[in-house]
Amino acid sequence: MSTNKSQNLKLHLWEPEDNFLRTEFNENFSAIDAALKAEADQRTALEQHVTSSGHVIGSFTGNGGTQTITLGFKPSFVIITGKVTPESSWYYLSNLMVCGGSMGAHFQRTDTGFTVKYVTNATTYTNREGITYAYLAFR
């Protein structure tokens, strides 16, 4: 029998001296299957909400380079906020884009979302490494 359980899904974890039980493997696979199904159901519900509501709220972690956030539509308006530093409790308005515009090298709309780029020596940052950004995007 397993000695320990994983933190999130409570899967069986075995120490070298533990015996394996087939039922424990089956329980692990059932838990993984249920978690994947719940994630898929949540994703479907979110996609339906986005389609019906005309906006999406999400987040991404800055990577210090360039990255594209896929929304499934071309946004007309995006608001992005981020922390000043990973340790800080202070947030700032990082970027505001209205009706087809862009913020030069920092931010660009795409047909399916938007692209953010970290630019050093800038007054606003949209993809600083390690910073968690939240966004609100409208169709």
Assign 59 to helix, strand or coil: strand
The pLDDT tens digits of the residues spanning 17-37 come to 999 899 999 999 999 999 999
* Residue 18: how many other CB atoms lie within 10 Å: 14
From the DSSP assignment, how many helices (H) and strands (E) are in the chain?
A: 1, 9
Task: Tabulate helix, strand, coil % of the chain (nearest 5).
Answer: 25, 35, 40
For the four alpha carbons of 42, 47, 53 and 59, in that order, the dihedral sign comes to positive
Residues making up the chain, counted from first to last:
139
pTM of the model: 0.56
Q: How far apart are CA 3 and CA 5, in angstroms?
A: 7
- The percent of residues in the chain predicted with pLDDT above 70, rounded, is 77
